[in-house]
Amino acid sequence: MSIVDLTAFELRERLRSGEISSRAATETYLERIRRHDKTIHAFLRVDEQHALRQADEIDARKKRGEKIGPLAGLPVAVKDILCTKGQPTTCGSRILENFVPPYDATVVTKLKMADAVLLGKTNLDEFAMGGSTENSAYGVTRNPWDVTRIPGGSSGGSAAAVAASMAPLAIGTDTGGSIRQPAALCGVTGLKPTYGRVSRFGLVAFASSLDQIGPFGRTARDVALLLEVIAGHDERDSTSVPKPVPEYSRTIGQPLSGLKLGVVKEHFAAGLDADVESAVREALRVYESLGAKLVDISMPVSKYAVATYYIIAPCEASSNLARYDGVHYGHRTDEKAMLERLKKDAAGGGEVDSPLVRLYRDSRAEGFGPEVKRRIMLGTYALSAGYYDAYYLKALKVRRLIRQDFDRAFSQCDLIAGPVTTSAAFKLGEKVDDPLAMYLVDLYTVSANLAGLAGISIPCGLSTGGLPIGLQLQARPFDEERLLRAAHMFQQATHWHTLRPKLAA
């Protein structure tokens, strides 16, 4: 069996036993990246020499009998929206093309302390705004199962890297489904932790009340291993919750007796692809065969989740992205050319901006892509005088109702099960010019972010076209342990998580 055929957990055990060296594992994945990433474009940057140095240091420490971390020698890919000291962090945007942070995000620090080998930074929709990884300023990422299709987004690079066996583990972020949706479309496992479970320090903010960092892996056990490392309280993040972190990787195999799965009737309405519904229904039958009880529940406010999300998230983005003004860091327009444009405008007799205002306008116009501009404008409009109460304040009230929907649901069940996406992966370019159609991709995922809950996507079938389909499980806040045990329970009884895309040699 090849190294890339092993799950992260299996590879970790062989690294620990000395059967495989850290350098051998790292070289194998780097070779895989060299061979396939020209087509997939999952990575924006790969630092081969640094990764190999890390691997050699871990091997040397093991040889000396020194203590090593829980991920010692395991290669990990990191979404390029997490700050990495001394290395570019672009967020998939031209405005941060040359930005090199002077510090590591807390999650990156924890990965280094756990002796993970950092392979590189993965592609994403610009500032995590998108559901297809087509909005990156540095080119699209392709789905390893069919390179004419999207991998999902915004963490499409991380999901594609794991699916194409270019990394056994990866880090993504989820603001409205950006871990779970690409995990479903790429046939891997991806978990969005509860808001506050993982520190957001060093995460470049999109929507601060919604963003959460989480793991990708092939299996629930892989994801448990990575979550165990990155979770935990951090004083540098005021939203980080001081709760102990369970030993997810140790408890994941414990059986769940008397499990009650809530099935939301509103999730099986018009617009759900027949292949997806069939696969999800079959997954529910598997759970029944394992002793779980299905409970029909209703979440009537869920139909307002997408509308609510696309007011709150752009409002927060509008505020967060105001810092990119071309003055302190990031892209700045060519000032000489800008002054020439001002002279021409003045000669035309029209109203002319001040040089400072023009610097802001031109720097942001050149640095941001169309989708980011669209969301900044939506958010600025919703926050403006005369519209704040009608849009933003009302959205916050609906957000509370959505959380109450979940509270009522969890009084009847342990977990909520349903689809992740309305369909399997669609064609590249199919929806990129239709923002509304693209926003509806998040139909089943945004509510967990609005409510601050945990959710996981696990492979549960293939479409008639041979594309992966995901099952979503959602849990009460900070109940990731039960979520992972339920996902593992399903994967022990099915084979979907073992399937790999066939890549050209």
pLDDT in tens, 422-471: 999 999 999 988 988 898 899 999 999 999 999 999 999 999 999 999 99
In the predicted structure, residue 407 carries a pLDDT above the cut 80: yes
Of 62, 79, 121, 192, catalytic: 79
Of 178, 199, 318, 457, catalytic: 178
Residue 110: inside a domain: yes
pLDDT at 317: 98
Of 22, 136, 154, 199, catalytic: 154
Among candidate residues 317, 345, 366, the one where a domain is terminated: 366
Residue 356: inside a domain: yes
What number is the average pLDDT over the span 396-410?
A: 98
Residue 191: inside a domain: yes
Task: State CA 433 to chain mean position distance.
Answer: 22
Residue 57: inside a domain: yes
209 and 346 housed in the same domain: no
For the whole prediction, is pTM greater than 0.85?
yes
244 and 336 housed in the same domain: no
37 and 178 housed in the same domain: yes
In the predicted structure, residue 288 carries a pLDDT above the cut 70: yes
In the predicted structure, residue 351 carries a pLDDT above the cut 90: no
96 and 212 housed in the same domain: yes
Share of the chain above pLDDT 70, in %: 100
Domain hosting 202: range is 3-248+488-498
What's the full length of the chain, in residues? 505
Give the other-Cβ count within 10 Å of 432's Cβ. 18
Residue 386: inside a domain: no
Among candidate residues 366, 394, 421, the one where a domain is terminated: 366
Residue 104: inside a domain: yes
| Least confident range of 15-24, 118-127, 313-322, 330-339 | 330-339
What number is the average pLDDT over the span 288-297?
A: 97
Count of domains for the chain: 2
CATH code of the domain containing 45: 3.90.1300.10
In the predicted structure, residue 1 carries a pLDDT above the cut 80: no
* Residue pair 310/382 in contact by the 8 Å Cβ criterion: no
Q: Is 155 assigned a catalytic role?
A: no
Residue 318: inside a domain: no
Least Cα distance to 191 among 146, 158, 143 occurs for: 158
Q: Is 363 assigned a catalytic role?
A: no
Tokens of 183: 């995990």
Q: Which residues contact 10 (CB under 8 A, 6 or more apart)?
A: none
In the predicted structure, residue 505 carries a pLDDT above the cut 80: no
pLDDT at 255: 85
483 burial (CB, 10 Å; 0-12 / 13-18 / 19+) is buried
Q: What pLDDT digit, counting tens, does each position of 470-493 carry?
A: 999 999 999 999 999 999 999 999
Residue 458: inside a domain: no
Distance CA 140, CA 41 (A): 7
In the predicted structure, residue 352 carries a pLDDT above the cut 90: no
Peptide bond into 154 cis (omega under 30): yes
Q: Is 178 assigned a catalytic role?
A: yes
Q: Which residues contact 314 (CB under 8 A, 6 or more apart)?
A: 207, 375, 376, 378, 379, 382
344 and 244 housed in the same domain: no
